[in-house]
Amino acid sequence: MGILYGIGVGPGDPMLMTLKAVEAIKKCDIIAIPSRKSVAYEIAVGAVPEIEEKPKLYLDMPMIKDVDLIKKKHLEVANIIIENLDKNIGFLTLGDPSIYSTFSYINDIVSKDYETVVIPGITSFSGAAALSNEALVQWDESLYVIPSIHDDSLVLRRGTNVFMKSGKSLSELREKLASVEYKSIKIIEKCGMEEEKVYEDFDSLPEKLSYFTLVVIKV
Amino acid sequence: MGILYGIGVGPGDPMLMTLKAVEAIKKCDIIAIPSRKSVAYEIAVGAVPEIEEKPKLYLDMPMIKDVDLIKKKHLEVANIIIENLDKNIGFLTLGDPSIYSTFSYINDIVSKDYETVVIPGITSFSGAAALSNEALVQWDESLYVIPSIHDDSLVLRRGTNVFMKSGKSLSELREKLASVEYKSIKIIEKCGMEEEKVYEDFDSLPEKLSYFTLVVIKV
């Protein structure tokens, strides 16, 4: 049997891939990616061009919020992977596979009966902090990483608040922040990618922002 | 003038260094490390053996809690770095330079007048999650990263609570947890290093734990 590798490719810059991720991609026989247009794949190509020669397993994983439907989809995808697990499969994920990745759900199913290996990646918030040349947390500050998937998650705490994948919920966040005091805000779109943009207030934001938008608020 | 690079070497495994970290170390003329026995340096040697040939800048950075004394020390260290900044200096940090690293204080001073570059690293919590093959956060879960430096930081929230550098405060945490319900606990000592150990309850803990101890509690 082969091994399923969950490979974090980091936030955008191919040079932010780890030596271990590069090594794993090289030894995998099949590359699993969500679709023909995969950001994670584009990053990997930048560091390991030979990935283009490898057979691909395109997995249909739509961005939906219906929990039952998602579970059904994950089971389908896990079964497709298991069917192909006579070879080593490298499943690419943006950022780190342990933090809000689709891979983690597939891994929960596949790892029950088959060998899987997780290769960590640079998170988008580490990447964003490095690019802005400002520490995320120092000394006794706490770091809160909150997925902006649910309305009730928009709570600010003393320390550094990172809202992940917040492209759609920015107007809500803006409303909430109108009555809250905070030290600084940074809105980072497509962190580490070529089209990266950083905004330091809400007024300068364009009408539409990418799904890959990160908000860092220091309180 | 040279550039000061803050280089994250990740949690322990040299293969978890990024391509960018390896490249930066290779092009730096001087390697800055806290002392002759540096964990970050040992990790870097594993991936870039030629680092041994480079001149070293040993910086005296004691682990103290007195804020005034620490500030004075940071200023001293920053000045030593600035004095040597006619060349490129690579300052190695364990994990990620943006999350509780000494580099971040030095960078706050040096970057005011000189060019500095931060190269992100794999955090200890991403490393620990990968090794335990269990996602840190999925779907609507939040991630809380709390430094166990102050007694009042021992608060548990719904989601995943990561207590950093908690070797010394474990007995307090244990006391606190006696009256709290939680789903799971993992105590990871020296994550990703050769001596790594994982404990799943307090009873199996040895009397003394390393400073590099991470506690992951799911609530």
pLDDT tens-place string over residues A17-64: 999 999 999 999 999 998 777 999 999 999 999 999 999 999 988 777
pLDDT at position A29:
98
Residues of B in contact with A139 (CB under 8 A): 100, 147, 149
Instruction: Count other Cβ atoms within 10 Å, centred on residue B203.
Output: 7
Q: Of B26, B126, B152, B191, which to mutate for an interface test with A (greatest number of A Cβ within 10 Å)?
A: B126
Distance from CA of A19 to the nearest CA of B (A): 5
Name which of B100, B126, B134 is nearest A123 (Cβ-Cβ). Answer: B126
With a threshold of 0.85, tell me whether the complex ipTM lies above it.
yes
* d(C-alpha A203, C-alpha B124), whole Å: 36
Backbone phi, psi, residue B99, to 5°: -120, 100
Q: Reduce the DSSP state of residue B39 to 3 states and report it.
A: helix
Residues of B in contact with A151 (CB under 8 A): none
Instruction: Count other Cβ atoms within 10 Å, centred on residue B160.
Output: 26
Residue in A with minimal Cα distance to B137:
A99
Name which of B15, B105, B118 is nearest A130 (Cβ-Cβ). Answer: B118
Q: Could you give the percent of chain A with pLDDT greater than 70?
A: 96
Cβ atoms of residues B25 and B203 within 8 Å: no
| Residue type for position B204 | S
Domain extents in chain B: 4-119, 124-218
**Would you tell me which residues 113-142 of chain B have a C-beta closer than 8 angstroms to some C-beta of chain A?**
116-123, 125-127, 129-131, 133-142
* d(C-alpha B128, C-alpha B159), whole Å: 17
Residue in A with minimal Cα distance to B117:
A133
**Would you tell me which residues 46-105 of chain A have a C-beta closer than 8 angstroms to some C-beta of chain B?**
47, 96-101, 104-105
**Would you tell me which residues 165-194 of chain B have a C-beta closer than 8 angstroms to some C-beta of chain A?**
none
- Please report the sign of the dihedral spanned by the C-alpha atoms of residue B140, residue A24, residue A92, residue A144: positive
Residues of A in contact with B146 (CB under 8 A): 142-143
Residue closest to A187 by CA, chosen among A138, A157, A148, A153: A148
Mean pLDDT, rounded, for A168-196? 82
Q: Kindly state the tokens that stand for B95.
A: 């994990």
Q: What pLDDT digit, counting tens, does each position of B58-93 carry? A: 998 877 778 899 999 999 999 999 999 999 999 999
Per-residue pLDDT in tens (0 to 9) along chain B, 219 residues: 999 999 999 999 999 999 999 999 999 999 999 877 799 999 999 999 999 999 999 998 877 778 899 999 999 999 999 999 999 999 999 999 999 999 999 999 999 999 999 999 999 999 999 998 999 999 889 999 988 765 555 677 888 999 887 666 777 778 877 778 889 999 988 877 778 888 988 888 887 888 778 899 998
Cβ of B145 and A140 within 8 Å?
no
Q: From residue B136, give the alpha-carbon distance in Å to each of A141, B67, B114.
A: 20, 32, 37
Q: Which residues contact A157 (CB under 8 A, 6 or more apart)?
A: A142, A144, A219
Cβ of A104 and B18 within 8 Å?
no
pLDDT at position A209:
81
Q: Reduce the DSSP state of residue A160 to 3 states and report it.
A: strand
* d(C-alpha B116, C-alpha A134), whole Å: 11
SS3 per residue for A14-82: HHHCEHHHHHHHHHCCEEEECCCCCHHHHHHHHHCHHHHHCCEEECCCCCCCCHHHHHHHHHHHHHHHH
Which H or E run contains B184? strand B184-189
| Edge-to-edge strand list for the sheet holding B143-147 | A197-199, A184-189, A213-218, A160-164, A143-147, B143-147, B160-164, B213-218, B184-189, B197-199
User: Locate tokens 């005034």: which residue?
Assistant: B68
Of A156 and B110, more confident: B110
Cβ of B20 and A13 within 8 Å?
yes
As assigned by CATH, the class of the B124-218 domain is alpha beta
> Within 13 Å and on the Cβ side, how many CA atoms surround B114?
22
Cβ atoms of residues B19 and A16 within 8 Å: yes
Q: What pLDDT digit, counting tens, does each position of A75-117 carry? A: 999 999 999 999 999 999 999 999 999 999 999 999 999 999 9
Distance from CA of A163 to the nearest CA of B (A): 10
Q: Which residues contact B182 (CB under 8 A, 6 or more apart)?
A: B156, B217, B218, B219
Residues of A in contact with B20 (CB under 8 A): 13, 15-16
B201: β partners: none
Distance from CA of B27 to the nearest CA of A (A): 15
Residues of B in contact with A118 (CB under 8 A): 129-131, 133
Q: Which residues contact B101 (CB under 8 A, 6 or more apart)?
A: A135, B6, B8, B93, B94, B95
Mean pLDDT, rounded, for A61-78? 88
CATH code, A4-119: 3.40.1010.10
Cβ of A121 and B116 within 8 Å?
no
